């Protein structure tokens, strides 16, 4: 039997045992089968962290709420969610680049609309403005 390694916790039919626990921007959810998932804002799917079971029977182990919160902090400290943290950092970097280039993006869109409507801007000027805005978002790469 293989474990699912990612799941969309927000639309999943099974409700978490406790409300999601947030620690350092990572949200942890404990499912009734003992599976712990973690997700971060801007990252599409939650990632499987572990499945907690009793060693003798294999039945799910559902810790007390405060113990679950402590376990989540431990998962974070031990690096169990490092890949999710890296994905979140990439999302934040992209969002910062978009904020920095917001005015250029607006000008490029305005120039493109003006060009399409037959205004004073030529299509070549509009394309150049779009390329310049894209280069700023991409950090100089085009």
Q: What is the 3-state secondary structure (H, E, C) of 65-81?
A: HHHHHHHHHHHHHCCCC
Residue from 51, 18, 17 nearest 32 by CA: 17
Task: Please compute the mean of the pLDDT values over residues 119-129 and round it to a whole number.
Answer: 79
- Same-domain check for residues 62 and 129: no
Q: Are 32 and 62 in contact (CB under 8 A)?
A: yes
Q: Could you tell me if 105 and 43 lie in one domain?
A: no
User: Cα–Cα distance between 137 and 129 in angstroms, integer?
Assistant: 12
Domain-embedded: residue 74: yes
More confident residue, 54 or 114: 54
Q: What is the pLDDT of residues 1-58, one digit of tens each?
A: 334 454 555 555 788 999 999 999 899 999 999 999 999 988 888 899 999 999 899 8
Token pair belonging to 36? 């712990």
- Confidence at residue 28, expressed as pLDDT on a 0 to 100 scale: 95
pLDDT attached to residue 51: 93
Q: Residue 18 is encoded by which pair of tokens?
A: 């406790």
Domain count across the chain? 2
**What's the confidence (pLDDT) of residue 136?**
80
Provide the residue range defining the domain that includes 59: 6-81
pTM recorded for the entire structure: 0.68
């Amino acid at each position: 039997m293989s474990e699912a390694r990612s799941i969309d916790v927000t639309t999943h039919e099974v409700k978490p045992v406790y409300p999601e626990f947030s620690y350092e921007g990572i949200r942890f959810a404990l499912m009734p089968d003992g599976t712990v998932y973690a997700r971060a804002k801007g990252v599409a799917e939650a990632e499987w962290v572990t499945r907690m079971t009793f060693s003798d029977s294999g039945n799910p182990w559902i810790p007390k709420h405060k113990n679950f919160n402590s376990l989540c902090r431990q998962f974070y400290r031990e690096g169990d969610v490092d890949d999710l943290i890296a994905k979140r950092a990439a999302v934040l970097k992209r969002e910062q680049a978009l904020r920095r280039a917001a005015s250029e993006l607006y000008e490029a869109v305005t120039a493109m609309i003006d060009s399409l409507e037959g205004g004073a801007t030529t299509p070549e000027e509009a394309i150049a403005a779009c390329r310049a805005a894209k280069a700023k978002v991409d950090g100089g790469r085009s």
